[in-house]
Amino acid sequence: MNELTSEVLELLVCPSCHSTLAWDYEASVLECTGADCGLAYPVRDGIPILLIDEARRPGADAN
């Protein structure tokens, strides 16, 4: 499973600021839509890793 359904996305929020998340399919991340946050959480094997320590900060180099 490489895709998240819209129903799942509606339930998920950023653990840091509680804003909604947007799916970036090409980068395989869920990006926080909060203007002051912007964390990007990885999605591995179709499973969102919603841990703040695993999130990429805005402006950080993608690995």
Per-residue pLDDT tens, the chain, 63 aa: give them.
Answer: 457 788 888 899 999 999 999 999 899 999 999 999 999 999 998 899 999 999 998 877 655
Residue 46: per-residue pLDDT: 84
Q: Is residue 49 part of a domain?
A: yes
pTM: 0.83
Would you state the pLDDT for residue 62?
A: 57
The whole-number pLDDT of residue 22 equals: 93
Q: What is the tally of structural domains in the chain?
A: 1
Cα-flanking dihedrals φ and ψ of residue 10, to 5°?
Answer: -65, -25
Cβ contact 54:42 at 8 Å: yes
Q: What is the pLDDT of residue 36?
A: 93
3-state secondary structure of 29: strand
> Would 45 be classed as within a structural domain?
yes
| Cα separations in angstroms, 16 against 20, 23, 38, 50 | 11, 17, 10, 9
In a domain, 63, yes or no: no
Q: Which residue range is the domain that position 15 belongs to?
A: 6-54
Structural domain contains residue 1: no
CATH number for position 49 = 2.20.25.10
